[in-house]
Structure 1
Amino acid sequence: MTSFDLIVVGTGFGSSFYLHKYLQHARSDARILVLERGGSQDTNWQVAERRNSDIDHTATFLKQGMPDKAWRFTIGFGGGSNCWWACTPRMMPNDFRLKSLYGVGRDWPISYDQLEPWYQEAEEIMAISGSDTGTPFPRSKAYPQPPHRFTDPDRLLKAAYPDGWFPQPTARARVATESRAACCANAVCNLCPISAKFTVANDLAGLYRDDRVTLLLRAEALAVETTGGMATGVVYRRDGAEHTARGDLIVLGANAIFNPFILMKSGLDHPLLGRRLHEQTSVDALVYLDGVDNFQGSTSITGHGYMLYDGPHRSRYGACLIESWNRPEFRNEPGRWRQIQLLKCIVEDLPLERNRVALSTEHPDKPVLHFESRSDYAMRGIAALDEALPRILEKLPVERVEIKRPVNVTEAHVLGTTVMGDDPSDSVIDGDLVHHRVRNLIVVGSGAFPTGAPANPSLTISALALRAAEHLHRPGGRSS
């Protein structure tokens, strides 16, 4: 039986960024196996079929609890990089210390400052477009690409809130690269027809052509085998048959639904494994403008507002990140078609232990997602928008603001099911994403998140994976 130095499950953000850093340090004769459950559909196929994968992700799990709660992800080469809208804000420094500062949630086992260099490296790899005149979070270097063009409402918001309104950081190219066209602002980013956004297929496919790497598509990881507290291999199914691959180091990057599912099927139980399933909560708001036209921006989402993000209110209700959308949503009034602005208000949620991923005795090949409710903390943040959003828009020529209800069914972000922490009794993995009990098992992805800040998670997933791979080569880390 062939043995590998490294076995990676999945090809999404966590897996691919981990592999990127690992290969920089790996021996020239290293042997690496990558198992991807889905196939590989190129851009032309995705656009023609109007979908990102030939696997219906909703058929891969069962739901209990809230009937209208949706969970969205892509199974296929590149994982979530296929369907994402390429929004790449960093988390804010205070997002890492909610408990210490505001007495709610949990602190992360790492700080913003510890993750900052890895944010920077992930942004370089993705060629992120962002502000060159200031950002809401500390940065050590400028963004690789200039910011996207604001709309006129964005410019008014920037003038009113110079320290609160910024161009959205994004992996939708402002300037064409060797692998990507400049963004066309057509607002169908999940099916980008011109390959303007970062995807694994556009920018990191070379990792999987490396002579040291063997990529198996249509290979579904079933369990991690362990002996004497060490991971020894991965059981997977391909072409209707089960196989076992032996490996010295295992990286699980199947997403925050299937990582805990695989660990449960491997007998690696923990009181918090699969629990604290959550994501952010959001509502849309239509802002009717008085004499100001919209839609001059160069990408689908142009502005980011932090006026309702951080502060003492987080001891009572969640932070809110505001997005301004450059997607045409016209008024039905001649001469005023463009005098309208769609704002999306994204509020953090606090994970609840009753929301969880679990096994099913009736359907052993499918995880069950028990999601009973969003937290009161998040819903108080949504309720606060009724007063707060019109107030911050008073500085603009606004006729009225309509906040849509109910909340959106999903943010397409699955968080919190393999939580990280320093104490093995109340966390599944440590701050380097290493399993507390099985020290040659790494679990990447947003399941590690102790809390659900409003910021989109993909950049943080990527930065954490880069940092975790580098851990192998620090003193005390496992060397390849």
Structure 2
Amino acid sequence: MHPEDFRAGDFGHGRNWPIGYQDLEPFYRAAERELGVAADVDEQREAVGLPFPAGYRYPTRAIPRTHLDTVIAGALDGRRVRERPGAAPTTLRVVTTPHARNGRPHQEPGPDGGPRPAAEDAVCRGHASCVPICPSGAKYTPLRTQARWASSVTLLTRAVVSRLRLDASGRVTGVEYLRHPADGSAAGSVPRTAEADLVVLAAHAIENAKLLLLSGAAGGSGQVGRNLMDHPVLLTWGLMPGQVGPYRGPGSTSGLEGFRFGPARARRAPFRIEIGNWGWTWALGPPDGRVAELLRTGGPDGRGLFGRELRRAAGDRIGREFAFQFEMEQDADPANRVTLDPAVRDPLGIPRPVLHYDLSDWVKRGIAAAKAVSDQLFALLGAEDRTGFAPGPGWPGRFEHEGRAYAYRAAGHGAGTHIMGDSPRTSVVDQWQRCWDHPNLYAVGCGSMPGVATSNPSLTMAALALRSAGRIHQDLLARHRPVPLRGPAALEGADHS
């Protein structure tokens, strides 16, 4: 996140954080080491404005640009666009994106160390098939962390927590859970209990909120489940005038960062622009859909293409595909929330969560500004714009704003449902992600974030978790610290009156 993102409320939309960038900065670096992030620190410092400490460098070198990145940079770098008439111009620059995957290693460890040793083949090879699993093992996976767990840690699988156990004082004494049958059947089970001195909910924004609601916990502020946020994503897509080699490398390796910050965010939601490497996949599906279209009606007579003509037409069409992905900041709105439906239950009998979600006018203005920027980018690239948001089931996020149709996809970056703050009257957790109402209950993850900003939230989530882990460790030490007993000699001179 950018330092400005922690005080979004100063611009009149969303909330300020109870901590600032500098509070999280050392944990950002620790998270980057743990995840094995690849990026160029000088580029991020200069182009994005991130205040890295002197001498810092990312654990591995930046993931190389794709050919598409290079073509777009050649056409756009240094050009200027206006998001609306009369607005201050923004100078364009294509910037490589930090990734939680191993790039090429540095020759020698930096002052903050490097990533954990990895096999030579555990480096990004540009397979273009890294969702969900990286073929070369370069992408971070929790298995790396689990491999270092001590023997005292037990991971209980097929166990679904159904409720927190609370005593009369408000302390959490443990959790109830149900065992899911190994055969996948829907049979319920008798609740079991795991007791604990301290409980951490780390089931992400939706499930954390669901568990708190099911348990009647952390409700003092009335904010549990509220302020649900995501990154609404405007997609635009088209055909470049020449071949750009899509479907190579990770989903995105570069983007345009100039719209993430600045005074314009007082009027509209800020956004960052990802350059999509996988053609029209997110907007319209994988390339076989375009091949099917050519088979049906691709010929000059309206009949299908086959054989050599099909291969030539498909190669030309798919080889020129590209897309922009505009990730919008969303403000924390209490009306966007998670609730429970006791009438609709999952196979274990637990009520399912219900999501109430919409976009504010501030976000809609951001989407309109992003589309205006996209129109100018297409013109500068000499590209054919194929963007369209036809009504129907393909675009459930379609809406009209000031007489123009737009649509968005969900990024799946849920946040805000147990929001962090500096007062138990207006927030669910404190700056350490500890529930105000329960001194031994932590709800960690993106659900604590008061603002989702414009960057993908995984690194911020990891940094927050590492910061909270230090406080959790202190809590446990204080609870289990030995108390010295006073022996008989110390009692001899005591006043027993």
TM-score under structure 2 length normalisation: 0.71
Distance in 2 between the 1:221 and 1:337 partners?
46
Which of the residues 227, 237, 261 maps onto 1:286?
237
Cα distance, 1:403–1:98 mapped onto 2, change above 3 Å: farther
Q: Secondary structure at the match of 1:248?
A: coil
Which of the residues 107, 117, 138 maps onto 1:196?
138
User: Is 1:138 aligned with 2:122?
Assistant: no
Match of 2:133, as an amino acid? Answer: C
Cα distance, 1:420–1:334 mapped onto 2, change above 3 Å: closer
Residues 170-185 of structure 1 mapped to structure 2, 5 A cutoff:
170-175=99-104, 178=118, 181-185=122-126
Q: 1:275 corresponds to which residue?
A: 226
Q: How far did 1:178 drift? A: 2.1
User: Is 1:469 aligned with 2:469?
Assistant: yes
Q: Secondary structure at the match of 2:165?
A: strand
Q: 1:148 corresponds to which residue?
A: 63
Deviations 1:26-46 (A, max 9, x none): xxxxxxxxxxxxxxxxxxxxx
User: Is 1:299 aligned with 2:240?
Assistant: no
Q: 1:119 corresponds to which residue?
A: 28
**Contact (CA 8 Å) 2:228, 2:337: kept in 1 or not?**
yes
User: Is 1:431 aligned with 2:373?
Assistant: no
Q: 2:303 corresponds to which residue?
A: none
Which of the residues 167, 191, 212 maps onto 1:242?
191
Q: Which region of structure 1 is more displaced relative to structure 2, 302-311 or 112-121? A: 302-311
Distance in 2 between the 1:261 and 1:397 partners?
46
Distance in 2 between the 1:444 and 1:322 partners?
28
Q: 2:6 corresponds to which residue?
A: 96
User: Is 1:375 aligned with 2:350?
Assistant: no
Match of 2:35, as an amino acid? Answer: M
Distance in 1 between the 2:179 and 2:104 partners?
41
Q: Secondary structure at the match of 2:373?
A: helix
Distance in 1 between the 2:141 and 2:436 partners?
31
Q: Secondary structure at the match of 2:174?
A: strand
Match of 2:210, as an amino acid? Answer: F
Cα distance, 1:475–1:273 mapped onto 2, change above 3 Å: closer
Cα distance, 1:416–1:404 mapped onto 2, change above 3 Å: farther
Match of 2:364, as an amino acid? Answer: M
Q: Secondary structure at the match of 1:197?
A: coil
Gaps of 5+ in 1: 1-90
Q: How far did 1:205 drift? A: 2.0
Q: Secondary structure at the match of 1:232?
A: strand
Aligned residues: 386
Distance in 2 between the 1:333 and 1:361 partners?
50
Q: 2:383 corresponds to which residue?
A: 399
Q: How far did 1:298 drift? A: 4.1
Q: 1:419 corresponds to which residue?
A: 419
Q: Secondary structure at the match of 1:308?
A: coil
Distance in 1 between the 2:18 and 2:443 partners?
15
**Contact (CA 8 Å) 2:235, 2:409: kept in 1 or not?**
no
Q: How far did 1:466 drift? A: 0.1
Q: How far did 1:241 drift? A: 2.5
Distance in 2 between the 1:278 and 1:475 partners?
30
RMSD: 2.7
Q: How far did 1:454 drift? A: 1.8
Q: 1:386 corresponds to which residue?
A: 371
Q: How far did 1:474 drift? A: 6.1
Which of the residues 263, 276, 285 maps onto 1:325?
276
Distance in 1 between the 2:454 and 2:199 partners?
30
Q: Which region of structure 1 is more displaced relative to structure 2, 470-479 or 429-438? A: 470-479
Distance in 1 between the 2:258 and 2:249 partners?
23
User: Is 1:354 aligned with 2:305?
Assistant: no
Q: How far did 1:362 drift? A: 1.8
Cα distance, 1:477–1:355 mapped onto 2, change above 3 Å: farther
Match of 1:380, as an amino acid? Answer: R
**Contact (CA 8 Å) 1:317, 1:381: kept in 2 or not?**
yes
Residues 50-65 of structure 1 mapped to structure 2, 5 A cutoff:
none
Match of 1:462, as an amino acid? Answer: A
TM-score under structure 1 length normalisation: 0.74
Distance in 1 between the 2:134 and 2:14 partners?
40
Cα distance, 1:334–1:277 mapped onto 2, change above 3 Å: closer
Distance in 1 between the 2:193 and 2:337 partners?
28
Distance in 1 between the 2:317 and 2:344 partners?
54
**Contact (CA 8 Å) 2:72, 2:381: kept in 1 or not?**
no
Q: How far did 1:436 drift? A: 0.4
User: Is 1:213 aligned with 2:153?
Assistant: yes
**Contact (CA 8 Å) 2:174, 2:195: kept in 1 or not?**
yes
**Contact (CA 8 Å) 2:206, 2:353: kept in 1 or not?**
no
Cα distance, 1:373–1:300 mapped onto 2, change above 3 Å: closer
Q: How far did 1:310 drift? A: 1.2
Distance in 2 between the 1:286 and 1:409 partners?
14
Identity of aligned residues (%): 30
Distance in 2 between the 1:163 and 1:473 partners?
45
Gaps of 5+ in 2: 79-90, 106-116, 181-188, 281-286, 291-312, 390-397, 399-406, 481-497
**Contact (CA 8 Å) 1:150, 1:296: kept in 2 or not?**
no
Cα distance, 1:169–1:404 mapped onto 2, change above 3 Å: farther
Q: 2:38 corresponds to which residue?
A: 129
Deviations 1:314-348 (A, max 9, x none): 11211111111222558958767534422111111
Distance in 2 between the 1:475 and 1:254 partners?
21
**Contact (CA 8 Å) 2:237, 2:387: kept in 1 or not?**
yes
Deviations 1:52-108 (A, max 9, x none): xxxxxxxxxxxxxxxxxxxxxxxxxxxxxxxxxxxxxxx1111110112x1111001
Distance in 2 between the 1:328 and 1:267 partners?
46
Cα distance, 1:478–1:294 mapped onto 2, change above 3 Å: farther
Structure number with greater Rg is: 2
Distance in 1 between the 2:154 and 2:205 partners?
24
